[in-house]
Amino acid sequence: MKKYYYVLLFLFGFFSKCTTVNDSSYKNNQASENNSYELIWQDEFSYNGLPDSTKWSYDIEGNDWNWGNNELQNYTYSRIENSFVDGQFLHIIARKEAFEGKEYTSTRLITKNKGDWLYGRFEIRAKLPKGRGIWPAIWMLPTNWEYGDWPKSGEIDIMEHIGYMPDSVFASAHTEAYNHIIGTNKTKGLFLPDCEAEFHNYILEWKENEYKVYVDSIEFFVFKKESDDFRVWPFNKSFHLLLNVAVGGNWGGLKGVNDSIFPQEMLIDYVRVYQLKN
């Protein structure tokens, strides 16, 4: 869900660095059970209606410029057709419908200024939408952009999924030194053939000198601090969470959009944030 274009070199990086899961051990293991962490923020979605406004806001600022990725959707504000909670799950729904000059709608929820963290463990249990043209993501951006615009202040992608690659999810790091625009991107894919049919825990463990991404018990992406230079490690400032389902775009729409798939939704069972004790 970047602010700049995906290029083919970025995609080639995915295919050359993909981890395969060939057993079922990841399905029932929650990697969050670690006594060194304590729960500090959560949304269990055990209520009904719109997402809790004390925890979530709607990001609509990029609709006019297609979010820098040539995305096709209009992210809406406080519209129950695109996001709601049913007492058990958060639903983020992409629809094929004309709305304010575009042909698709969806939602981009953020915790900015309501949940902002420096380091910690982030666990999001989700089931992903499917179909050619869908591009859901669970990710983090800097709250204050102290080092400058993207990619200087960094981006952490916990999970991205592309509808025309239904058996895989991806994790990435973006910095000034490491990003797809200059062909130095740090990204890895995980073979996860049931990600559209089953819930999985998408987990980030972010510490002072590295961060790791897991799916359930499988650690499949690690980004390490190489120096104090913010161009390689801007991850020493507060970040916030984002949850969204995009339609089309430079990566999600690389093979077009199948309009027969809509509506499509990402289901979120819970979001939990932990930090190290003491």
Which tens digit of pLDDT belongs to each residue from 224-238?
A: 999 999 999 999 999
- pLDDT given at position 21: 53
Residue 66 belongs to some domain of the structure: yes
155 catalytic per annotation: yes
> What's the chain's average pLDDT?
91
pLDDT digits (tens, 9 = 90+) for 29-42: 444 456 799 999 99
pLDDT digits (tens, 9 = 90+) for 63-89: 999 998 999 999 999 999 999 999 999
Total domains in the chain come to 1
For residues 119 and 100, is the Cβ–Cβ distance under 8 A? no
Residue 216 belongs to some domain of the structure: yes
59, containing H or E segment: none
What integer is the mean pLDDT of 164-168?
A: 98
| Torsion (CA) 207, 208, 213, 218 in degrees, nearest 10 | -60
- pLDDT given at position 188: 97
What is the residue whose two structure tokens read 């507060």? Answer: 238
Domain that holds residue 86: 8-276
Catalytic residue among 97, 123, 146, 160: 160
User: Does the pLDDT value for residue 52 go beyond 80?
Assistant: yes
Residue 3 belongs to some domain of the structure: no
Residue 79 belongs to some domain of the structure: yes
Residue 154 belongs to some domain of the structure: yes
- pLDDT given at position 180: 87
CA 115 to chain centroid, in Å, comes to 16
Residue 232 belongs to some domain of the structure: yes
- Local structure of 165: helix, strand or coil: coil
Q: Count of CB atoms within 10 A of residue 98's CB?
A: 10
Residue 242 belongs to some domain of the structure: yes
pLDDT digits (tens, 9 = 90+) for 122-136: 999 999 999 999 999
Catalytic residue among 71, 123, 155, 176: 155
Q: Return the CATH number at 258.
A: 2.60.120.200
Whether this prediction's pTM lies above 0.85 is answered by yes
pLDDT digits (tens, 9 = 90+) for 188-204: 999 999 999 999 999 99
pLDDT digits (tens, 9 = 90+) for 239-259: 999 999 999 999 999 999 999
Residue 164 belongs to some domain of the structure: yes
